[in-house]
Structure 1
């Protein structure tokens, strides 16, 4: 990239307005060099500006060697372990605390399940469908199916016709489902290891069956009574059921009875198979499996978090090393840049002198031509051009600068090759030990 601008002879001729000055001031044949002096002043001013740019650039390239950036970075690296490990260890302790709390929950729940199985002499695993929510689909299906079928048979009992019959059918279906639910509870209690609870379960099942059949027979008799006297159908149904429980007289009434019993049987089957046959065994098993799942998920996440923290520490270490490498390269580049600036500036001075001499030659040629044309005389020209009188360029990289660059570079390389290698091994060993302990825990 071009840093130092050279004033060409053409630029000097233009800025000094040399041709016009020579033509307008032609009074004698002797050349007084006032135009050259004007050009000289312009060149010297421009050189001062360029020299100021040069000094600033050189000063910028010496900052790293003269400043405290490298020593500060080395100090930071030496304290990297004390800066990073405590924070990371605190994060891991928090993860460990949460994980231990969840482990205690899982352990407690496992103990509770084991104790439950031991007390109730259970050797097998609990049996139930993976998705227990499906039962609600069956219940809704049974409710609607039974209600739609019964609605046609009960429509006669309602002044609202089919709509009223459907409402009555829904109420009957709900009662049927509730009865089935209690039967399923009795079924599970019948499997209990305690004889008393088992007997209560069996009695409960028998009682629920009696209630169910009573309700089904009542519905059948009620439908039959509707064909005789709708206003007192309920009273007639109770009377007929008391005198002749199975004396249902019409086909529609038997259909109502069969639909009620069938839907009850289906719902009972679904209730009984929706969970383990032993009471509370399914609930405690699901709760235990859920705590295990939560703990396993948390442990996986914790391991992943620990792995990421470990990678972060190692990456931070490598980034720090790369920063040291970059500083070392920057030192070398600074020395090269200063040498290149000095070379470029000396080239600039040489070219600028050449351009100034070309400018002076052009001025003299113009004066000689104008003198011959206007005065018809031979121009009297001085033998030598004006001296630019630009100060000599001092050495940009002095011995003390070279010594400082060599000292800092040697210090940095020695730290990277010896001390940093030891720090890295020690740091990685502590990181590995820290994570090995936590992963084992």
Structure 2
């Protein structure tokens, strides 16, 4: 995530207000310097450069002018020249803290983030606790996508400077790069308590609101083949509504069992479910999902279905999910399923998620289990792809039933427009009694939060 340009500019401007002590008894130099400073502050970088060139031609050893010229080059986006100018200053003044900080910003603005860390750390070596150097390090971590490292710096800075709005803004951005939008919103609301007119806070709140989704609508259809018997039909409809950052509720019509069960296909029977559910985010560490809904059968009593899931959010975007499903009906065996899953991110776009399931369908001679491994790729453009497979043991006491089961699947979410997505899925399963192939397609519509 890119930083707000205003935040970067403010960081640079602060440098000129801290640590620059003008020499005494040099009224001509000071007047030219102040004139150049005013022009640079006003964004008139070319005019400022002309004044500084004239000043330094007459007084080549005037250090404040040399530092201001290097800053002015950086502010006018002449980053290579700015880096060269700061390095020239440091060749003669290797302990000049402001030159080290300016060099760090010049590298950061140029996109050379790897080289921006060293100058900020050098500044802190010569002046431990320097506010601008610590902020520069934090902003560089944010731009690199390392929100956690930035937060360690910024939280200490806030403890020392609780009224600094710019530090709150940086802290909010550090949460945003980790997609911790709820926490970012809380920080930005604190900024507005300090200053209701803070433009950066309002801008970032608009960004957060634009990212959030008020409602989602999904429709899926597909084709199933089970040992040569196939069926085409509507698989699922779902609608969800985000009432707040904490609460999302949804309802789902599920017809997949009608299409994917061989007995139902052969007997031309239906089995549909209507599910209502909610996801509640307690805070940044915990979230809970609960679902209930009846499943209707053509030839027996309905089944009551319950599902609960607990999510534990860990540092660095890791999380653990634990949950279960229970189905109860009269005149038919009850069934249950439990699972545990671990989400393991590798970089910004790829993650692995192993999940272990244990289940009892009520019709087998005992429990069954499956180990699923899912690989997930998710890009900033909204494209998402999942590829996975599973192995397991069945426990079906029917002659000819296989003990070992397995299969694989692929799932893609493809942006068509800003809020409209194409969904594609394919699944192949070697089950205990039959082999199954499913191909499905659908659409997802996301309605933004206004």
Q: Normalization by structure 2: what TM-score?
A: 0.18
- Rg: which structure is higher? 1
> Relative contact order: is structure 1 or structure 2 higher (C-alpha 8 Å, sep ≥ 6)?
1
Which structure carries more strand by proportion?
2
Which structure carries more helix by proportion?
1
